[in-house]
């Protein structure tokens, strides 16, 4: 990955053809070959020439980017006349070398003037064996050279191919006078009369037995009395061994690279070392008084020897490491110390390795509901933690109110052990202490639940409650956590070890913040301490902006931080793991595509880093280890840097002493399970003893090798919110992320674009429809936004050039050059314009080049004008396959194929020649549907014809064993977004676990790194891949799967059902035709009319005029509803004609060619959820949940009560009757959800989703019956028996409450409507609904007003005021002071004599002065300056208004100042009722206690 200039000039590689496993090479060019150091040695190289015979890489970067580069790698190789080749499947080549052993090779350069067959065969088949040559003689110096002549002591170094960095290390660092002699210098005769006090034996190439002269001289030195210290490295280790009388042997494969783990046999410590050797010492042949000093932690070969009573020792690796890590540089200290006759300290094994934590019960604190900055990654971390704890036989108690998560599942088996007890309770300090008092755990883990868990742990420790209860904090201790969270302590800690952060000051009030900003100089970054995801942060250009930001930041933290602005610098991150024995490794390093200034959660991130040199990479790595050790972190953490793009200057941004979003990304990017390992380390295990969970044979104390590139791209949903700026900064705004894997940067960024937005075909500017023709491109690319990438691409497509784009964006030119390559290839395709012409010449090479660059079949079809696009895409697919261009399947195996790995963690790429895993044993099953009305493409017909005889003939008679062997593909949820979140991951995981339980091979396809479903332990085969038609068909055909489950991953896989079916794939469960009948608003409404089932009046919006006429006929308000969308996207309530016309345009954009329906919106109706599982049209089990809010609030934002508490018996009867009819009509098999509305006993159907809904985990965990497990069995055609669910036996209630992130979405109106706005959910159990409701509210982070504080009311009309009147009286009786806006105050004072204080409505966000006429204070001044702790603001709540109202200003200010807000009258009434009854005080009960299980 890094260090190719150093490796190519390493004399140890003399005569070898060097294969680099990382696919992208040449990124940072080659530095100056003329620049020298004070010794006259080349500054950046390890010798004066390139020593390799040839270079083989997968992908070469023709454009390089680095401030130190003076030429490209290609130019350097040409200059030195060394052949190099790219386009080779280096992974396949590595596997061959691994299996067969080091091979002889020959690179034959074909003349450009003659044909390839003109080369004589003898030239091709003639091999030169470098091992037959005396390579040491070739590379050793021919003269004696002295370095550091004024230094002392004097050391002779035998140059057997010595790297220049060894000279620098001994002379510059250790101040040694170094005399370098040829390998055959006779030390006994010492013809040059060199004075020496120590002997150094260098590295070098080839067989050590070819150096008899060197061995003879070493033997002379060994026999001197008194002894003189001897130290050897690499070849020097072998030479010392031979001189001592031991033997060496040729390794089959050799140990090379920069990440070989070696164990110090004196201490048990493991170090990461760089190596390059093909021979090893036979430890068994060591004579008396000699012992092994180091061994390789992976293959247990010898890595060093030591004499037991004389100062002789050597190591097989390179402590001076160039390139590579400097973890063992202390060995030079030891050697020079011996030479100086300084007593060397006794090194012993650290006793901490034996101090295992003796815990029997652990409390794991979860993260709660998903929010921006704290999402599904903590479900993955927590699930891994539970797995690790259960392996150690520890009882696990979990507190987490997020009912949608996998970790809160109560089903347990040997493969997927769950927590022993689960508490669905608010994560508050007093609640955690209640659980501790009840459960009496030995230890607590607070590092797996994000900032929520960490803050609770810190508070309980600082108040002494954990110590008093005798509960140990496992892993990183609280004082270390505080050192990373408190900026002043952190800065002080770094200064202690000579490191620094950016200029930064803490402030406890606005005045201190202003003073700090003036010290640093504007612009400055404002951040809240102890806050997640940059909450409460932003950039301030002046005092006014700072005051505003600081005021808001103080609402979420008592301390804020004022930081130096480093925007434009590179941002990098290292994931670090350390155990209690001080073994420390970096698992992954990542580089942000965007320069500093964009929160890393909102930046495109590439792993590993692409533009760092060896010096920069290991400089930052060395700092990371130093910082983590100094802080005393045990477990996993990450460290973030800012690196000057024009020098090696850097500063540390922060350290997160916990599992984070980046940890989940790094785990999935490398295959290294960070949370699992961190848990083991928290229990006192050491890294060396933990096994690599992929290879199963090697140690976990290693740094993964990546022979692929990974790219993370964020997913935003900012367009759902009016007035929210799409500008990106220091406060995170993204709601999810995707991760793509490939072997070229172009491939991964195009993949990621399709993953993050399924409507995109790849990375395009002009064709993306995401750039604005009204705004100059300069403006669109200068400021980071959620669409800047596409504006940058458009600029490149329009010929701006890399340099011009760089000046506007400061995005590294290497990244921009890759984007420009995509733009050029797009232009070439469009200029050709004809698919036959495009592939007429060199068709295979052209197609492969496009696919290697990440272009989809649909992109190629569109560029070559194939219409209709669906048929055109199928035609491109057929052409591609006829050319033999099909993707290869590669493994993520952590060690770049250097060790065998039976891993099921897979990705697909076109940059390869062979698969890592075998294909399925069966032909894929073709869909058995003979419905000719279902559209089919020419390619799908050919596909069906090709395999129909093979598949249909067998599928009808296939045994269960055959079906199980074929396996089932499960399509996951894709990126988390508003409307599709962790609940669908729970559904996918439930499905694959049930498949495995029933003996089916399970194949999961997903690309979300935050999920549990993408944990390779969960399925038989994990494809970390796109959920596109093209890629799903690739996998389906390759695996020969028995069918595809599309109904457990949300809307993305559900929308693929039709295309998959028409392409011949078998959809398990409900047919694709019936899915369309439910998703298509017009078809579904027609069906309901035909069946005589009631629904609101509706009409298809064929034209604007028809829609307006329909709306006028039925009366406003009306609901605009597009088809095939998720979370109510573009769904709007229009209250007049102008709104209707506006919303219809928006819906048409979202729906594309699908119908848009306008329905009458019914006010005051109750909304009801019906979740069920059916088999062949017959309902097996169902759950009826009622919404607390009236219809008009999206079901994802509603408070849902289960079992329903206030539905009439007749209402329930009608709901069941309608559901039975719909299930039968659509012949449903699998999960489905119907939403009803009821006015009195009048029930009407809203919609039906023939897939799992977001409430499936909620109903499954409430009833303690997994609905998805049942649905999976039904979809696989197994015998299914309904669960026995008797509502009369359920004497508890569960309430699900939404989790919002309005505090982050500056400008968003924090009110609810028909389009979903929540980012997560929680649920709590209670003996009755009000108890469960209040616990659920508290679990969302809602703060109850303290006794005697002020409650501000602003209620829109008399009906709502009347409805809330009893609650207003109750608040007054409870001692709360009441303030209200004029209309509300006058109404309550007149009707109930409540003596409410009147406050004026603000006209704008600056209107915080008193009313000059009445003297009444402004509502804004009340919120900012008085003791208001709760605002109840009830608006119309159904229409989306673009104008800024006083109600909006009140709501927005409430959120910005961290004051609790309620905007729904039903919720407000329930809140007051629960507060009055004192339900905020409750006894902690686990879910098992509610289920009445034996606990």
Active-site positions? 234, 318, 320
Residues whose CB falls within 8 Å of the CB of residue 271, separated by 6 or more in sequence, listed in order: 261, 262, 263, 264, 327, 328
Task: Please check whether residue 925 is in contact with residue 951, taking contact to mean a CB–CB distance below 8 angstroms.
Answer: yes
Stretch (H or E) spanning 606: strand 605-607
Output the furthest CA–CA distance in the chain (Å, rounded).
115
**Euclidean distance between CA atoms 137 and 159, whole angstroms:** 10
Q: How far is CA 163 from the centre of its chain?
A: 39
1166-1175 and 1230-1239 as β-strands: parallel, antiparallel, unpaired? antiparallel
Q: How many residues does the chain have?
A: 1495
Tokens 């300069």 label which residue?
A: 778
Nearest residue to 1158 (alpha-carbon basis) of 1191, 1128, 1119, 1131 = 1119
1317 C-beta neighbours (distance < 10 Å), count: 26
Q: What is the 3-state secondary structure (H, E, C) of 1368-1435?
A: HHHHHHCCCEEEECHHHHHHHHHHHCCCCEECECCCCCCCCCCCCCCCCCEHHHHHHHCCEEEEEEEC
Structure letter (DSSP) for residue 692 = P
DSSP element (H, E) containing 291: strand 290-296
* Separation in Å, CA 1406 to CA 156, 554, 1309, 1401, 1447: 78, 19, 17, 12, 14
Number of helical (H) and strand (E) elements in the chain, helices listed first: 48, 55
The pair phi, psi for residue 953, each rounded to 5°, is -65, -35
CB 1205 within 8 A of CB 1212: no
Nearest to 660 by CA among 905, 399, 380, 419: 380
Which letter, b or e, does each residue of 1247-1273 get, where b requires 16 or more Cβ atoms within 10 Å of its Cβ?
bbbbbbbbbbbbbbbbbbbbbbbbbbb
Q: Which bin fits 517, alpha (ψ -120 to 50), beta or left (φ > 0)?
A: alpha
The Cα–Cα gap between 1401 and 194 comes to 93
User: Are residues 52 and 904 in contact, defined by beta-carbon separation less than 8 angstroms?
Assistant: no
Measured in whole angstroms, the distance separating CA 477 from the mean position of its chain's CA atoms is 26
Tell me the three state secondary structure of residue 1485: coil
- Which helix (H) or strand (E) is 437 found in, with range? helix 429-439
Closest CA to 380 of 696, 667, 590, 577: 667
Rounded Cα distance between 1458 and 1449, Å, is 14
Dihedral sign computed on CA atoms, order 555, 560, 562, 563: negative
Report the alpha-carbon distance of residue 278 to residue 18 in Å, rounded: 13
Residue 844 near residue 811, CB atoms below 8 Å: no
Query: From the CA atom positions of the chain, what is the Rg in Å?
Result: 34
Q: What's the rounded Cα separation, in Å, for the pair 176 and 195?
A: 13
| Residue 853 near residue 783 (C-beta atoms within 8 A) | no
| Residue 1370, CA atoms < 13 Å, CB-side half-sphere | 16
CA 484 → CA 429, 487, 529, 632, 912, distances in Å? 21, 7, 10, 11, 44
């Amino acid at each position: 990955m890094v260090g190719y200039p150093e490796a190519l000039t390493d004399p140890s590689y003399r005569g070898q053809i060097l294969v680099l496993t990382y696919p992208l090479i040449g990124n940072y060019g080659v530095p100056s070959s003329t620049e020298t150091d004070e010794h006259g040695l080349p500054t950046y190289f390890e010798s004066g020439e390139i020593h390799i015979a040839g270079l083989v890489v997968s992908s070469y970067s023709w454009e390089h980017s680095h401030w130190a580069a003076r030429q490209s790698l290609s130019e350097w190789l040409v200059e030195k006349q060394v052949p190099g080749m790219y386009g080779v499947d280096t992974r396949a080549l590595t596997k061959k070398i691994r299996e067969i052993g080091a091979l002889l090779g020959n690179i034959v350069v074909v003349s450009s003037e003659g044909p390839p067959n003109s080369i004589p065969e003898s030239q091709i088949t003639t091999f030169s064996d470098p091992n037959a040559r005396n390579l040491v003689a070739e590379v050793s110096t021919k003269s004696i050279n002295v370095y550091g002549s004024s230094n002392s002591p004097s050391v002779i170094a035998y140059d057997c191919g010595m790297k220049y960095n060894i000279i620098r290390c001994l002379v510059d660092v250790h101040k040694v006078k170094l005399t370098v002699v040829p390998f055959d210098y006779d030390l006994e005769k010492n013809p040059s009369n060199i004075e020496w006090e120590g002997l150094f034996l260098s590295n070098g190439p080839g067989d050590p037995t070819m150096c008899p002269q060197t061995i003879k001289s070493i033997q002379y030195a060994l026999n001197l009395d008194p002894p003189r210290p001897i130290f050897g490295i690499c070849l020097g280790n072998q030479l010392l061994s031979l001189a001592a009388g031991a033997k060496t042997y040729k390794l089959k494969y050799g140990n090379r690279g920069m990440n070989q783990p070696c164990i110090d046999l004196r201490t048990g410590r493991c170090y990461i070392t760089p190596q390059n050797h093909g021979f090893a010492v036979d430890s068994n042949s060591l004579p008396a008084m000699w012992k092994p000093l180091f061994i390789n932690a992976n293959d247990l070969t010898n890595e060093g020897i030591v004499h037991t009573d004389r100062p002789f020792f050597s190591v097989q690796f390179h402590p001076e490491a160039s390139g590579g890590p400097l973890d063992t540089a202390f060995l030079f200290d030891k050697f020079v110390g011996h030479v100086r006759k300084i007593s060397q300290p006794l090194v012993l094994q650290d006793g901490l390795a034996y101090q295992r934590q003796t815990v029997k019960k652990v409390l794991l604190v979860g993260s709660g509901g998903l929010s921006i900055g704290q999402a599904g990654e903590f479900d993955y971390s927590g699930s891994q933690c539970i797995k690790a704890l259960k392996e150690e036989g520890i009882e696990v108690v979990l507190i987490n109110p997020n009912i949608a998560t996998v970790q809160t599942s109560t089903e347990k088996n040997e493969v997927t052990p769950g927590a022993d007890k689960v508490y669905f309770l608010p994560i508050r300090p007093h609640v955690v202490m209640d659980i501790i008092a009840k459960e009496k755990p030995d230890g607590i883990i607070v590092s797996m639940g994000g900032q929520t868990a960490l803050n609770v742990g810190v508070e309980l420790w600082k108040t002494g409650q954990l110590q008093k209860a005798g509960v140990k904090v496992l892993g990183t201790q609280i004082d270390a956590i505080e050192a990373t969270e408190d900026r002043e302590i952190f800065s002080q800690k770094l200064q202690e070890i000579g490191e620094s952060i950016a200029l930064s000051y803490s402030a406890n009030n606005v005045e201190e913040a202003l003073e700090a900003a003036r010290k640093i100089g504007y612009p400055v970054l404002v951040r809240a301490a102890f806050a997640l995801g940059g909450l409460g942060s932003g950039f301030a250009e002046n005092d006014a902006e700072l005051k505003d930001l600081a005021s808001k930041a103080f609402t979420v933290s008592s301390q804020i931080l004022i930081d130096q602005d480093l925007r434009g610098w590179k941002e990098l991150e290292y994931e670090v793991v350390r155990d209690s024995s001080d073994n420390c490794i970096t698992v992954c390093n990542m580089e942000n595509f965007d320069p500093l200034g964009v929160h890393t959660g909102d930046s495109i991130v590439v792993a590993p880093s692409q533009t760092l040199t060896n010096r920069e990479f290991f400089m930052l790595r060395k700092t990371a280890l130093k910082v983590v050790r100094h802080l005393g972190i045990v477990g996993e953490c990450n460290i973030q840097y800012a690196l000057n793009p024009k020098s090696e200057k850097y500063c540390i941004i922060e350290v997160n002493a916990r599992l984070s979003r980046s940890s989940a990304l790094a785990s999935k990017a490398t295959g290294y399970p960070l949370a699992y390992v961190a848990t083991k380390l928290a229990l006192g295990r050491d890294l060396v003893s933990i096994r690599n969970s992929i290879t199963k044979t090697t140690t976990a104390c290693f740094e993964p090798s990546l022979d692929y590139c990974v790219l993370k791209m964020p997913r935003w949903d900012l367009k759902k919110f009016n007035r929210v700026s799409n500008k990106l900064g220091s406060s995170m705004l993204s709601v999810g992320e995707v991760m793509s894997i490939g072997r070229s940067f172009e491939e991964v960024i195009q993949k990621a674009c399709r993953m993050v937005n399924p409507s995109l075909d790849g990375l395009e500017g002009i064709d993306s429809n995401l750039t604005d023709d009204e705004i100059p491109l300069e403006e669109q690319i200068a400021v980071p936004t959620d669409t800047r990438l596409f504006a940058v691409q458009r600029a490149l497509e329009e010929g701006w050039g890399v340099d011009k784009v760089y000046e506007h964006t400061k995005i590294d030119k290497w990244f921009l050059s890759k984007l420009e390559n995509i733009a050029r290839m797009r232009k070439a395709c469009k200029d050709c314009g004809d698919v036959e012409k495009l592939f007429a010449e060199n068709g295979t090479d052209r197609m492969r080049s496009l696919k290697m660059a990440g272009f989809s079949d649909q992109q190629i079809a569109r560029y070559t004008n194939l219409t209709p696009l669906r048929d055109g895409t199928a035609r491109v697919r057929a052409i591609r396959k006829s050319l033999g261009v099909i993707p290869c399947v590669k493994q993520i195996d952590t060690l770049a194929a250097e060790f065998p790995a039976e891993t099921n963690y897979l990705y697909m790429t076109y940059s390869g020649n062979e698969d890592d895993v075998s294909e399925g044993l069966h032909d894929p099953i073709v869909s058995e549907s003979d419905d000719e009305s279902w559209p089919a493409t020419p390619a799908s017909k050919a596909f069906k014809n090709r395999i129909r005889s093979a598949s249909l003939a067998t599928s009808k008679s296939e045994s269960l064993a055959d079906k199980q062997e074929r396996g089932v593909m499960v399509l996951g949820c894709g990126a988390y977004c508003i409307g599709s979140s962790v609940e669908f991951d729970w559904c996918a995981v439930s499905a694959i676990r049930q498949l495995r339980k029933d003996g089916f091979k399970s194949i999961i396809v997903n690309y979300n790194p935050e999920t549990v479903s993408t944990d390779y332990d969960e399925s038989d085969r994990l494809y970390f891949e796109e959920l596109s038609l093209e890629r799903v068909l690739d996998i389906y055909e390759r695996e020969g799967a028995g069918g595809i489950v599309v109904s457990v991953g949300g809307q993305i896989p559900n929308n693929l059902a039709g295309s998959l079916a028409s392409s011949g794939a078998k959809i398990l469960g409900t047919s694709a035709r019936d899915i369309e009948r439910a998703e298509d608003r017009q078809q579904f409404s027609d069906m309901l009319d035909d069946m005589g089932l009631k629904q609101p009046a509706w009409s298809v919006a064929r034209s604007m005029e028809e829609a307006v006429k329909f709306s006028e006929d039925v009366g406003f308000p009306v609901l605009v509803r597009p088809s095939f969308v998720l979370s109510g996207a573009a769904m709007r309530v229009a209250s007049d004609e102008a709104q209707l016309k506006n919303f219809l345009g928006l819906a048409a954009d979202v729906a594309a060619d699908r119908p848009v329906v306008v329905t009458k919106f019914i006010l005051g109706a109750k909304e009801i959820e019906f979740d069920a599982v059916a088999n062949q049209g017959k309902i097996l089990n169902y759950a009826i949940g009622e919404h607390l809010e009236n219809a008009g609030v999206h079901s994802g934002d509603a408070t849902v009560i289960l079992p329903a508490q206030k539905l009439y018996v007749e209402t329930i009867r009608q709901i069941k009757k309608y559901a039975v009819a719909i299930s039968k009509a659509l012949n449903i098999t699998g999960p489905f959800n119907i939403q009803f509305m009821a006015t009195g006993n009048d029930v009407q159907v809203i919609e039906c989703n023939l897939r799992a809904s977001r409430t499936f985990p909620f109903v499954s965990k409430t009833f303690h019956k997994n609905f998805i497990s049942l649905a999976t069995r039904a979809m696989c055609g197994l015998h299914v028996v309904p669960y026995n669910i008797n509502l009369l036996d359920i004497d508890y209630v569960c309430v699900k409450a939404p989790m919002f992130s309005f505090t982050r979405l500056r400008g968003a109106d924090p009110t609810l409507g028909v389009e979903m706005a929540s980012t997560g959910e929680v649920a709590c159990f209670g003996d009755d609904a009000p108890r469960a409701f209040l616990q659920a509210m508290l679990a969302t982070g809602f703060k109850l007003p303290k006794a005697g504080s002020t409650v501000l009311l602003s209620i829109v009309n008399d009906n709502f005021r009347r409805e809330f009147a009893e609650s207003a009286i109750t608040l007054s009786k409870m001692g709360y002071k009441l303030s209200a806006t004029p209309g509300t105050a006058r109404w309550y004072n007149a009707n109930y004599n409540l003596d409410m204080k009147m406050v004026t409505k603000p006209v704008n966000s600056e209107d915080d002065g008193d009313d000059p006429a009445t003297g009444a204070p402004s509502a804004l001044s009340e919120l900012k300056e008085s003791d208001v702790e709760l605002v109840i603001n009830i608006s119309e709540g159904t229409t989306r208004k673009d104008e800024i109202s006083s109600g909006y200003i009140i709501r927005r200010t409430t959120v910005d100042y961290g004051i609790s807000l309620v905007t729904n009258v039903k919720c407000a009434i329930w809140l007051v009722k629960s507060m009055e009854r004192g339900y905020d005080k409750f006894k902690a009960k686990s879910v098992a206690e509610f289920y009445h299980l034996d606990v």
